């Protein structure tokens, strides 16, 4: 699976056997990236509205601060996600001279919140701060703005298990991009109107955020070649002032085409924006989404063979009176086995959950879930793929009879929604018992 920027997974506290309310077990090898763990989750989610009344002390799990730094720039490369920024050359069909937006908000989208109550769909506003809610920042992409001090109080470690970072903008007072278009052998000044956009929110996948050096470095790049891709500028009309005006009145056809490509040229995972007419639009950026979703025959589960050391890919959730410990066992050098010892069954099957988030599903695509499991007690468990943000089932939910000898389980399903963060759940609670699990896969079949 193709991901975009290297991530230093934060796992300083990981141990071989985990027994906390929320434990993180095993790390990435099926995919090149794992999520960024930014706190110690405590909120019981499951598929219920019931709340756990037991309060656990999680102070010992508090992680060091992970401050946010953001950089904003333009790039003239061929839009390879890992390419170094390329400066403009004289042969470029479009040169940008002045391009600014007003930064209005920074948000995180996370799961398993600790000390805050947050709508996971709307996310958490990190900036502006509560004491200056009207604060805004002028961002120049052409000058390469970099922001560190204004974000000095942002500590991502406090806010859960990071999925996405969102940056919100509105057009600046010029509401335009100024530059030059190459028509024939001559560059002619142009003004592209941003009047079609009231606000926009760019949401970047955790794998697009570099955490090297103990900081979360968010790079927001406007890729000029994507902005102009497939467009023919030879027939543009030049105004009486010798400037090419691209707006709803002049060169309107070209303006509409550039409007379609403007937001996706920032290359977030997905975006939301409001048009001048008040229409709200949301969509994934196709090439970024295709790099995250599994290809045909590929396993979208991270570390499904449990071969890697303990970090943050697998989550053990204890809630509603459930208690379990985990460890990884070697099977005579062949494959690793996840061992789950449920010492207290709790009130429900979901009182103990073995979970992996970030299972990227594409709507209406056919998948097969495969795993091998056995227990010391023959009885059923519930296996499910749901949404971390809405808790709705987006893949399947099925009761599986677990025997005392190892057997393979296969479940085929069609994804109900496109979701980069679907959650694979094994509900193992309800009674005291032991489980052995290996070779977990969610394979894309088409």
* Sheet of strand 146-147, all strands in order from the earlier edge strand to the far edge: 146-147, 68-75, 216-223, 209-210
Q: What confidence tens digit (pLDDT) does each residue in 376-427 have?
A: 999 999 999 999 888 899 999 999 999 999 999 999 999 999 999 999 999 9
pLDDT score of 151:
84
C-alpha gyration radius of the chain = 24
Average pLDDT of the chain is 83
CA distance 445 to 215: 38
pLDDT score of 159:
52
CA distance 82 to 429: 43
CA distance 171 to 154: 25
pLDDT score of 310:
58
- Residue 205: alpha-carbon gap to chain centroid: 3
* Sheet of strand 407-414, all strands in order from the earlier edge strand to the far edge: 322-331, 335-345, 433-444, 366-375, 407-414
Q: What confidence tens digit (pLDDT) does each residue in 41-61 have?
A: 232 333 322 333 222 333 334
Averaged in consecutive runs of 10 residues, what is the pLDDT profile of the chain (446 residues)? 29 29 49 35 30 31 68 84 53 94 93 59 88 94 91 68 92 97 94 98 94 87 96 95 98 97 97 96 95 94 83 83 92 84 95 93 97 97 92 94 97 96 96 97 96
Q: How many of the other CB atoms lie within 10 Å of CB of 283?
A: 12
| 3-state SS, residue 415 | coil
With beta carbons less than 8 A apart as the criterion, state whether 141 and 172 touch: no
The CA-CA-CA angle for residues 116, 118, 120, to 5°, reads 135
DSSP state of 296: T
pLDDT score of 160:
64
Q: What confidence tens digit (pLDDT) does each residue in 218-254 have?
A: 999 999 999 999 999 999 999 999 999 999 999 999 9
The DSSP bridge pattern shows strands 366-375 and 379-387 to be unpaired
Place of tokens 């968010």: 218
Please list, in sequence order, all residues whose beta carbon lies within 8 angstroms of the beta carbon of residue 119, skipping any fewer than 6 positions away.
none
Q: What confidence tens digit (pLDDT) does each residue in 75-90 have?
A: 998 755 444 445 666 5
Sign of dihedral through CA atoms 341, 344, 347, 353?
negative
CA distance 114 to 58: 9
Backbone φ, ψ for residue 137 (5° rounding): -130, 130
């Amino acid at each position: 699976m193709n991901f975009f920027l290297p991530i230093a997974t934060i796992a300083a506290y990981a141990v071989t056997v985990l027994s906390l309310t929320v434990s993180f077990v095993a790390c990435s090898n099926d995919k090149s990236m794992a999520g960024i763990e930014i706190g110690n989750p405590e909120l019981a989610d499951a598929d219920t509205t019931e709340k756990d009344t037991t309060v656990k002390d999680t102070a010992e799990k508090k992680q060091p601060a992970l401050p946010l730094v953001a950089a904003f720039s333009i790039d003239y490369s061929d839009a390879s996600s890992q390419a170094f920024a390329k400066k403009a050359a004289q042969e470029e069909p479009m040169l940008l001279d002045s391009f600014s937006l007003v930064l209005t908000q920074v948000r995180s989208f996370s799961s398993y919140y600790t000390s805050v109550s947050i709508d996971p769909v709307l996310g958490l506003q990190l900036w502006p701060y509560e004491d200056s809610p009207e604060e805004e920042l002028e961002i120049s992409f052409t000058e390469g703005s970099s922001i560190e001090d204004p974000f000095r109080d942002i500590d991502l470690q406090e806010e859960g298990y990071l999925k996405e970072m969102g940056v919100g903008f509105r057009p600046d007072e010029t509401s335009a991009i100024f530059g030059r278009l190459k028509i024939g052998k001559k560059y002619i000044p142009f003004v592209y109107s941003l009047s079609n956009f009231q606000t926009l929110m760019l949401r970047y996948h955790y794998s697009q955020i570099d955490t090297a050096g103990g900081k979360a470095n968010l790079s927001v790049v406007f890729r000029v070649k994507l902005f102009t891709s497939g467009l023919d500028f030879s027939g543009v009309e030049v105004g009486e002032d010798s400037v090419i005006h691209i707006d709803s009145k002049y060169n309107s056809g070209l303006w509409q085409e550039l409007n379609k490509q403007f937001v996706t040229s920032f290359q977030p995972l997905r975006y939301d924006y409001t048009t001048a007419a008040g229409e709200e639009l949301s969509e994934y950026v196709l090439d970024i989404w295709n790099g995250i979703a599994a290809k045909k025959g590929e396993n979208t589960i991270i570390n499904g063979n449990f071969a890697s050391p303990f970090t943050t890919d697998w989550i053990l959730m204890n809630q509603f009176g459930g208690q379990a410990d985990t460890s990884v066992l070697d099977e005579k050098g062949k494959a690793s086995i996840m061992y789950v010892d449920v010492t207290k069954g709790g009130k429900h099957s979901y009182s103990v959950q073995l979970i992996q988030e970030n299972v990227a599903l594409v709507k209406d695509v056919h998948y097969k879930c495969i795993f091998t499991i056995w227990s010391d007690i023959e009885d059923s468990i519930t296996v499910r793929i749901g949404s971390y943000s809405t808790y709705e089932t987006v893949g399947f939910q099925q009761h599986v009879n677990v025997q005392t000898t190892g057997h393979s389980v296969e479940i085929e399903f069609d994804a109900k929604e496109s979701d980069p963060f679907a959650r694979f759940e094994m509900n193992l609670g309800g009674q005291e018992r032991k489980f052995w699990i290996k070779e977990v896969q969610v394979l894309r079949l088409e």
